Structure 1
Amino acid sequence: MKRFSGDRTIDGVKASVDGRPLDPRLDLHRYTANGFEWSYEGDEPRQLALAILAEHLNDPADAKSLVEPFMKAVVANFDNEWEMTSADIDAALQALGSGSLRAAS
């Protein structure tokens, strides 16, 4: 099970998966050149949503199709520090009506 986390530090925001920096997946789509952010709706949270979903689902098309609802329902509501597991993401996707999508193990 993967563990995603984010933190606001004096050096800026940090997002990681299993302790390593989370790939912003600019190869899939570039919403912003400003990196990740969260706790509001916008381009930086959208980039974070794409990165989380792409890592979790291992399916670029599904990740891209779910960015907007996942960003609005989940990423825009993160606190300054946050943590999610693969199970948390599955539960969020199911709540968004995407329960048939599952992470590739």
Structure 2
Amino acid sequence: MQPMETNSTTDPRAVVQDTDERCQASTDRVEYVGMRVDGTPVVLNLTAHERLSPDRSLSLVRHSPVGFDWGYVGSGPAQLACALLLDYTDNETVAQQHYIQFRDAVVSQLVCDGPADCWHLTGEDIEAALAEFEEYRALTPDGGMPPSSLPANWSAVSRTDRTVFQRRDIDHYVVLAEGSEEWLIILCAQGDRAYPAPLGHRTLPVENDPVSAVQALVAESNDLVEPEEDN
């Protein structure tokens, strides 16, 4: 008796293999979609067939316990940015370090449009954004090894025209800008505002080291809103 010939439609092993390959291909093409349902922002991970929840990201930062939002710079988009990075990378360090940049560069630009009145974001979009972000560093006045000059709830990123010190637990920033004759160092809060609200500032000649002024404004922020204790 001749053995029965098999192909991808008759061999169960081939069917299982094809299914695995399709699942893997789907995983490689991660896609998120956002929409408003009766006015409530809803974000889905289409690959996992799950609704994205803020719960996991709230263990890292608590900008918006009530939920997500997008299309502007504020607390709701900040929470969504952290949740997206955490869900996609499964890396708390990456999410915590880059979510503000991701909010400003990506989430604030998301718009519900098209026939489905929604936005789409792919894994490739997230990878491209992460590749463009500058690496965060500690405040290093002497350019050497990072000293313990900032509290643990603050980090810093250098840009071409300014240095921004970002508070991790709430939307507070210290912006360090060098003018022609003096440093202008500003403590501001974003919250749900379209533009940051100034909370304090320092000026000093450019020949002076600005580190102490930055530290003073960081301390003011931590005095205004006490940092959350690590669990």
TM-score normalised to the size of structure 2? 0.40
After superposition, what is the alpha-carbon deviation per residue over 1:15-70, rounded to whole angstroms, capped at 9, x for unaligned?
Answer: 11123111212122211122000000000000000000001111101111001110
The count of aligned residue pairs is 98
Amino acid at match of 1:16: L
For 1:89, which of 102, 110, 126 is the aligned residue? 126
Unaligned runs of 5+ in 1: 99-105
Corresponding residue for residue 7 of structure 1: 35
Corresponding residue for residue 84 of structure 2: 52
- If asked which structure has higher relative contact order (CA below 8 Å, sep 6+), I would say 1
Unaligned runs of 5+ in 2: 1-27, 113-117, 136-231
Q: CA deviation at 1:11?
A: 4.6
CA RMSD of aligned residues (A): 1.4
Greater share of residues in helix = 1
Q: Distance in 1 between matches of 2:64 and 2:110?
A: 19
Corresponding residue for residue 100 of structure 2: 68
Find the structure with the greater CA-based Rg. 2
Runs of 4+ in structure 1 over 2 Å off: 95-98
Q: Alignment identity in percent?
A: 31
